[in-house]
Amino acid sequence: MRVTIDQRDNDTKISKGLIKRTAGSFKPYWKQGIVVVLLILVTGGLGAVNPVLIRVVFDSALFPESGQPDLNLLWTIGGIMAGITIVTGALGILQTYLMNLVGQKVMRDLRDRLYRHLQSLSIGFFTGTRTGEIQSRISNDVGGIQNVVTNTVSNALSNTVIFISTLIAMLVLSWQLTLVAVGTAPVFFFLSKFVGERRRLVTAEQQKSAAEITAITQESLSISGVMLTKLFGRQNQEIKRFQGENQRLSDLAVKLQMIGQAFFASMQIFFSLSPVVVYVIAGYLVTGGGTTGVTAGTIVAFTTLQARLFFPIGSLLQVSVELQSSLALFERIYGYLDLKPEIEDSPDPIEIDPRTISGRVAFENVNLSYDSREEKPDDGSGRRLALNGVSFEIEPGQLAAFVGPSGAGKTTISYLIPRLYDPTDGLVKIDGVDVRDMRLQTLAGIIGYVAQDSYLFHASLRSNLLYGNPNATQDEIETAARAAYIHDRIIDFPDGYDTVVGERGYRLSGGERQRLSIARVILHDPRVLILDEATSALDTASERNVQSALEP
């Protein structure tokens, strides 16, 4: 029953389906997206106007054929250029705001979806997955795509519009010079695709390494981990384990940077030398006379446009690389979102009023197999069973105890009643109804469970108790605490019920944590109460008192 995650081979090419699925994250915000697109089209088009007006400034205002500068025209053109610059800047600010707003909403939705889906997964997933790995998916992976969902998409569209509008303006000025300026651009697009794929693969490895570091710190720096490390004197070994993975993460970060650095350096050299080539070709065109239409103003305007053209080309190539890297993170996130819960509500559940439940529990020839428990007996079909042909019935109000050696299946039986697992064969019933036909929320409402390892949140004593019944009054809280023989200890604290218990309740003793957990389940008021060695940390007198309080 151990859940394994299908990790795609790193050599797998990014599918169109992944890109389509990623783009679908923006669908709820298509209205804002249309506004952003319109703003991009307007700002991109306006941005190409000023360089063209430069030719008018040179050829008609400063150096007209008459030889006398036209200052009125110069002021007019200058005013138009200034106005265009101001309008473009203002629209650019609005565009940035809207795109960041949409991007952050997409990030919020993705985190919500991921957390909600993780909450729906079965207990088998969490027993087979390190907590640090899960935390890394929510924090590191989702955080890693922030740039692509807030900036990269709009930058790609914006730079595409700038490129097209600038290219058109350059063609209007001189198609010959335009061919020279963009003739080698396809080479860089092919190179960017290669570099982007390499960066995607390294990014995937980098995120795995980051997840490993998160897992190491979560395990070794939790209170339980720190105590274990100190008690066994393993601090140096844990430091070495962290340092090894930390070094790997550092090496991958350097590799990620260097993969694209040579490419971008060569691209920069090309962009720097290209104007020189344009000047040389323009010189030949100018000396060719008026047949080419190339003037001094044309050359100045063209080189201005050329600089404007190279920026979107470089940005688009970088966007391509960033998209490849970010899609690797989307792959990891979707790897979790695509996991199917093993335990789900029945398609046609039986509606039951929890108040009508009496609490009769029955097992009918129940088998349960764990893939990893090979030492269990074989049922004849090749399966290794944790439970083999278990049948019993417990009447409402009856106290039943399961006694046996460690590993006999006592806890496993308790897991089947609230459907933390489902049996491989057989039936588990409450009041004659198969628990698989009940809603999970109904089961949670009628079953109370107290484990040997009592889990408490890093919150106040009151908050931990209210987890069993958020609507409980203070009187009900204190009544439950008295029943569990923990009230007197609580009021001894300076802050009483507002005392923060610390991570996993480590400010309390083991027995106090167990009694607090019992008080919490008393507040829950279940029809079926399961105690899995829930009083193991109590002294004999306290255990007897608590058990007496729990009797029906």
pLDDT digits (tens, 9 = 90+) for 51-91: 778 777 777 777 676 667 778 888 888 888 889 889 988 99
Q: Measure Cα distances from 144 to 167, 199, 204, 222, 501 in Å.
A: 34, 14, 11, 25, 34
pLDDT at 41: 85
Q: Which of 147-161, 289-303, 359-373 has the lowest mean pLDDT?
A: 289-303
pLDDT at 495: 92
Mean pLDDT score across all residues of the chain: 80
Helices within 221-287 (DSSP H only):
223-231, 235-287
Query: What's the start-to-end Cα distance of the chain, in Å?
Result: 35
C-alpha 241/C-alpha 212 separation (Å) is 10
The yes-or-no verdict on residue 358 having pLDDT over 80 is yes
Q: Which contacts (CB < 8 Å, 24+ apart) does range 254-261 have?
A: 255/202, 256/199, 256/202, 256/203, 256/206, 256/325, 259/195, 259/198, 259/199, 259/202, 260/195, 260/199, 260/321
Same fold flag, 354-446 and 451-550: yes
163-202 per-position pLDDT tens digit: 888 888 888 878 888 887 777 666 666 666 677 677 777 8
Reported as a pLDDT band with limits 50, 70 and 90, residue 473 is: very high
Q: Which contacts (CB < 8 Å, 24+ apart) does range 221-230 have?
A: 222/503, 222/504, 223/502, 223/503, 223/504, 223/506, 224/504
Domain 354-446 has CATH 3.40.50.300: yes
Contact 18, 99 (CB under 8 A): no
The yes-or-no verdict on residue 373 having pLDDT over 60 is no
Give me 433's structure tokens: 């109804």
pLDDT at 435: 93
Give me 59's structure tokens: 């050829």
Give me 123's structure tokens: 């207990």
C-alpha 294/C-alpha 286 separation (Å) is 6
Which residue type sits at 6?
D
pLDDT at 203: 78
pLDDT at 475: 94
Third-level CATH fold of 16-337: ABC transporter transmembrane region fold (1.20.1560)
C-alpha 446/C-alpha 469 separation (Å) is 12
Which of the listed ranges 303-307, 505-509, 531-535 does the model predict with the highest average pLDDT? 505-509
CA 472, chain centre distance (Å): 35
**DSSP assignment letter at 400:** -
Angle at 469 between CA 472 and CA 458, to 5 degrees: 105
**What is the SS3 assignment for 390?**
strand
What's the whole-number mean pLDDT along residues 134-158? Answer: 77
The yes-or-no verdict on residue 374 having pLDDT over 60 is no
**What is the SS3 assignment for 433?**
strand
pLDDT at 289: 55
Reported as a pLDDT band with limits 50, 70 and 90, residue 222 is: low
Third-level CATH fold of 451-550: Rossmann fold (3.40.50)
Site of tokens 């279940």: 526
Contact 501, 464 (CB under 8 A): yes
Domains in the chain: boundaries: 16-337, 354-446, 451-550
Reported as a pLDDT band with limits 50, 70 and 90, residue 291 is: low
Which of the listed ranges 75-84, 130-139, 255-264 does the model predict with the highest average pLDDT? 75-84
Nearest C-alpha neighbor of 252 from the set 218, 318, 219, 203: 203
Give me 151's structure tokens: 């900036």
| Size of the chain, expressed as the number of residues it contains | 552
Provide the phi-psi class of 484: left if phi over 0, else alpha when psi is between -120 and 50, else beta.
alpha
The dihedrals phi and psi of 387, each to the nearest 5 degrees, come to -125, 140
**What is the SS3 assignment for 316?**
helix
The dihedrals phi and psi of 385, each to the nearest 5 degrees, come to -105, 135
Contact 447, 528 (CB under 8 A): yes
Share of the chain above pLDDT 70, in %: 83
Share of the chain above pLDDT 90, in %: 15
Other C-beta atoms within 10 Å of 552: how many? Answer: 8
